[in-house]
Structure 1
Amino acid sequence: MTLTGQRRGRKIMMTPGELDEFLTRQRTCRVATVSQDGTPHVSALWFAWDGASLWLYSVVRSRRWAQLRRDPRVAVVVDSGEEYDELRGVELSGRVAFVGEVPRTGELCAELDTPEALFARKYFGLDELPHDGQHAWARLTPEKTVSWDFGKLGSS
């Protein structure tokens, strides 16, 4: 993964390995989209991380999906921590690409093999993702990535 140069906060920036581990383990992200009139919309969503792209599995009859179809620009935040020195997170931004049929019914799509296996194991403890005909995939390969780990401030 290519990390964008992070001028401010370099001291707390995650390494590529830390970022990969963090995105693999976290379960919920917040997805920011923009409505036609410019109003922002943020919603929580489950995701899969394959080491290069964040895969969003969204209900296709949602406001989020409609806004992404109209304007694929997106910002996503994945974060954790309660106390100041526990705060960790990543903001990824760019444009999503839609992969597979909409809604997803399980047609063969080699590009979805990895994200669906990751998602099925992570959220359902299964080897194969059950398709409900209500969700579809959007892939975010970040154009910009910013990360933070405030725990690093105590180690200096």
Structure 2
Amino acid sequence: MSRTRGDQIRMSPQEIDEFLHGHWSAVIGSNGPHGIPHLVTVSYGLMDGRIVFSSYAKAQKIVNLRRDSRITCLVEDLGESYGSVQGVLVYGRARLIEEPDEIRPMMKAVLTRIAAAGRAITTDTMAERVVEKRAAVLVEPDRVLSWDHRRLDGAY
């Protein structure tokens, strides 16, 4: 039985984990109020291998996730060419966290990742300053897809 192109480019669970740890922003999709997908870029962190992010509690993405917890998260590295594209796509459910004491460690996970990516921020101060106005999201994955086009060795 021959391998499909999807089999050739799929990452292992360890490679997915390494890829997600190597990036700090994701495009998340939620279901808007009129059935139109709502896509936004967020900074994310990882807690127990799951994507977490934070936003203002009144932000459209949070309003959408309160109504419908289905979420999609895309972390992609476009590289220099099609042959170097890598990505991870997570389909899942958003678990909304709205208690400040539970939000703080999630925000710290996100802010620590942003700082590690070379962004000048003070994680504890920033988290404390805005935590009362925010909600956090823990993505519970249902399905994870991945691709690493470098494995195709230029054969598309």
State the TM-score, normalizing by the size of structure 2.
Answer: 0.80
Contact 2:53 2:107 in 1 (8 A): no
Q: For residue 96 of structure 1, report the CA deviation from its aligned partner.
A: 0.7
Q: Deviations over 1:14-57 (max 9, x none)?
A: 11111101111211101111123211110111111234311121
Q: What is the percent sequence identity of the aligned residues?
A: 22
Q: For residue 10 of structure 1, report the CA deviation from its aligned partner.
A: 1.3
Residue 23 of structure 1: SS of its match in structure 2?
A: helix
Counterpart pick for 1:53 among 39, 50, 54:
50
Which residue of 1 is the match for residue 92 of structure 2?
Answer: 94
Where do 5+ consecutive residues of structure 2 fail to align?
116-120
Which residue of 2 is the match for residue 152 of structure 1?
Answer: 151
State the TM-score, normalizing by the size of structure 1.
Answer: 0.80
Q: For residue 141 of structure 1, report the CA deviation from its aligned partner.
A: 1.6
Q: For residues 24-103 of structure 1, what are the structure 2 equivalents within 5 Å?
A: 24-82=21-79, 83-101=81-99
Q: Deviations over 1:92-144 (max 9, x none)?
A: 0111111241xx4xx3x3x864x444323212465646231332211112100
Residue 152 of structure 1: SS of its match in structure 2?
A: helix
Structure having the larger proportion of residues in helix: 2
Aligned length: 143
Contact 2:24 2:44 in 1 (8 A): yes
Where do 5+ consecutive residues of structure 1 fail to align?
1-6
